[in-house]
Structure 1
């Protein structure tokens, strides 16, 4: 689906790739509200694996936010080539088109580029060591963007939820209506991040003279998937005792999950940009203002 819109006195022309996805759903209106004239292109409008399509799409834009991604983490384990085509080759195509057009680029990446074995928040310059096919393809995309488009920001995020697509929060609410008890892993730690907040952070990043390079865009604080599930129940007026903790090794999935997905916000703080608020506070706002 293509969306073009204008806002108050203009910041310029912005293109959002992957506009039909969960983050794209909130990026288009956030940029519009900040004064950008926005073109949103979904998968049916733009195939990022095709270089000529990327050149044509980017032409005439001042800013591109690349939210197009292959995000089927488990499926990537058996079809890494398909994930690589979008997450690495596609990212390279978009970056090359931006460099050609003189457009700035925001590329959205992930905590999966790390091995998940840390005990302190990952700094932006911590060595990448992905353990999954998905993580490898996203790490390759980061490298391509930084090599091909110097005027770019890579924004790593994690544990996203939002109204624009299937996610953990909406799944918990659905399961609450189907089951008496829900078992959720309690040994993976991360930062649940609302797409509305990430979209806002990206807007603030591109309008704040922030240094090009890698930054982290996640909510503050930390919890486990079990802790997040209990919070969803509590904030939705449901009994949190219905949520039971289990270990990751009991819940077998094809792709390895990072046990630790906590990202440092130091780089954006040093740039004078306030990080996203504490995860539970932001979740409470979401539960109060959004339908499941």
Structure 2
């Protein structure tokens, strides 16, 4: 049953298989279906770490001798690198799932939280409990994607995830929410989504989404896929969010890496903390 559900999850991606669907397909109780769903999530969580290590090594080998033009030169990066290398550049962004509405805060304003974190925490006057999920996304075009549940957007939180996923040798695209990466990743480039137009007739510039082929639309596209997939679930507690995110990360990434390479990597012990097959 485990192999069948795992295969079906991969085949019908990006649609996810819920516990209710497993129960109906296999004609088993909801409790048994829920346990089977948890087994798939735990299995995916182990494999994601192997995929992350493979992704890290691939980026390191691909971009170890690659340089980017200086920001002051204002050159198009896609033309400079070529399409093949350009498509392998990782993109990063953050998004919110199951945000806290005003009703959940009893119409009280939020004083201590700002930005996306204001959407996942209740007001401190009603307990300040986390009810939404903040997701960090690292993705490559037509390649691997890694979703991680994070409590905030601070450098000490997101930096740890970036460090173990993207090597220093690799270029990295993001929006201007990651300005603290400038001194760490020398090939980090950002796009300003709030850029204003020089023409007084318009408020925002037309290149605020992509400038000199610098954008983070790959990460944003995967976040749209994530939101579409998670619409099958009524609600997920933040405590268990990482299990669901790992499941989707594994199913998306395994299609790019391939099961054969994953099994070979495990047998060779690519990740020390993951037992070999």
TM-score bracket for the superposition, by shorter chain length: under 0.3
User: More helix by proportion, 1 or 2?
Assistant: 2
**Normalized against structure 1, the TM-score is what?**
0.23
TM-score (norm 2): 0.23
The structure where strand makes up a greater share of residues is 1
Greater relative CO (CA pairs within 8 A, separation 6+): 2
Greater Rg, structure 1 or structure 2?
A: 2
